[in-house]
Structure 1
C-alpha cells in the first residue's frame, strides 16, 4: 500500500502580497488604517499557519499573476467600544486564489471579537490584530482544500 503524505518538499508554494492591503472600496476608518498593523499581522499569521496544512507562503511586495497566488484584501474593519465599555471589533477579508492568473476559488473570511480575557487591558489595534490572526489561520486551513465561494469564520 502506498501512502502519500504532504511533506515540506511536496508542499504547494502560494504567493501572497505582504502586507495585505486595505481594499480601495472599503469603508475603514483612517485611524485604523494608520495605526493598526492588520495587513502585516494577517500575512504573518497566514505564513506561520500554512505549513500545518501542507502549504508554504512566499511573500511578495506586490500581487503576482504567475504560479499559485492568493490575492487578499481587507474589506472591512470595525472598532467600536473600548477597554472600559467593552470592545466590539471585527474584520473581513476577501480573496481570490489563482493558478497562472486563472481563478481557482474565492473566499471571504470574517471574525468578530469582544476583546477576550483581560480585554480591558488591550488596545483597539491589539484586538483587531488578534482578529486577523484568527482569519490567517482560517485561510491557511482553507488553502489545504480550497472551495469556491467559501465563507470562513463568523458568518
Structure 2
C-alpha cells in the first residue's frame, strides 16, 4: 500500500504544470535619464546600466518573475513592462581617501499599457570590505547590484510610489 501511495504522488507531481513566472520586459542596458545630472566620466567608464539589468535579471526568478531584455527602449504596450532609468549617480572619494558612491533608479511598471506602480530605489556605499582595493566603477556597480535585488523583490508585490533601499 505504501508503494502505491508513493507512486501515485510521483505521478501527480510529474503531471502538474509548474507555476509560470511572469515575464517583465526591461531595456538592457538600463539607460541614464536624459534629465539626470550624472558626470560624463561615470556614463562613459562605468557599466552601471548593464550591471543593473543583469542583477535584476538574476534576482527576479527567486521572486516569481522572469525578466525579458530588449535592446531598444520598451514601451508600455501589451504584457508587463518595467520602464527603468538611472536618475542619479555620484562618485565622491577614492580608494585612498575613502569611497562615497550612490545611485538612484526610477521605474514605472505597466500591465497592458496601464500603469501599475512607480518605484524609486536608492543605494549608497563606502566601498565595503576591502574598499581600498576597489575602483570607483566597481563600487558603483556594486551599488546598482543591490538596487537590482531591491527591484526584483518589489516586482513580486509592487506598491505605487515605493521607495526602496537607502532613503
Q: TM-score, normalised by structure 2?
A: 0.87
Which structure has more helix as a fraction of its residues? 2
The answer to whether the 8 A contact 1:21-1:72 is kept is yes
Question: Would you say the 8 A contact 1:8–1:54 is kept in 2?
Answer: no
Which residue among 6, 18, 23 is the counterpart of 2:33?
23
Structure of higher CA gyration radius: 2
Corresponding residue number in structure 1 for 2:7: none
* Residue of 1, 7, 12 corresponding to 2:22: 12
Number of equivalent positions: 149
Aligned counterparts of 1:133 and 1:8: Cα–Cα separation in 2:
29
1:33 is aligned to 43
**Deviation digits for residues 16-61 of structure 1, max 9, x if unmatched?**
0000000000000000000000000000000000000000000001
**What is the alpha-carbon root mean square deviation over aligned residues?**
1.1
TM-score, normalising length: structure 1: 0.94
Q: Which runs of 5+ in 1 are unaligned?
A: 1-6
How far, CA to CA, are the matches of 1:42 and 1:94 in structure 2? 12
Gaps in structure 2 of 5+ consecutive residues: 1-16
